[in-house]
Amino acid sequence: MNTKELLGLKVKEYRKLKKITQEKLSELIGVDNGYISKLEVGQNFPSIKTLEKIANVLEVDLYKLFLYTGEKDINFKIEINKIYDELNKEKQFALYSIAKAIKN
């Protein structure tokens, strides 16, 4: 995976954690709707000014967008978030209970 793709995954990860849609993030930083989508898949690489806006909206230090723990870890975390978002409250609680048990 290249830097553009890894950066895109980080932006997506933080965006989802803040529960902000691509459209809302686009609106908040002043870019067109398709920009964030392309950024998240590594087709766009933002300017430093745009990166600063993204970091501010996502309430994350700019440098954290460039901290890559490894392709497997990032993809796995995103996949877990996707699964969680698709579950009803009862199943979300079950997943939480399992994760908490594994942690301990």
Are 36 and 82 in a shared domain? Answer: no
CATH of the domain at 49: 1.10.260.40
Are 56 and 5 in a shared domain? Answer: yes
- For residue 99, how many other CB atoms are within 10 A of its CB? 11
Are 56 and 74 in a shared domain? Answer: no
Give the model's confidence band at 73: pLDDT under 50 very low, under 70 low, under 90 confident, else very high. Answer: low
Are 76 and 101 in a shared domain? Answer: yes
- Round to whole Å and give the CA distance between 94 and 100: 10
Report residue 68: phi and psi, to 5°: -100, 120
- Provide the residue range defining the domain that includes 92: 69-104
Count of domains in the chain? 2
Give the model's confidence band at 78: pLDDT under 50 very low, under 70 low, under 90 confident, else very high. Answer: confident
Are 79 and 103 in a shared domain? Answer: yes
Could you tell me the pTM of the whole model?
0.65
Residue 104 contacts residue 92 (beta carbons within 8 Å): no
- Round to whole Å and give the CA distance between 73 and 69: 6
Are 74 and 103 in a shared domain? Answer: yes
With tokens 């553009």, the residue in question is 4
Average pLDDT taken over every residue of the chain: 88
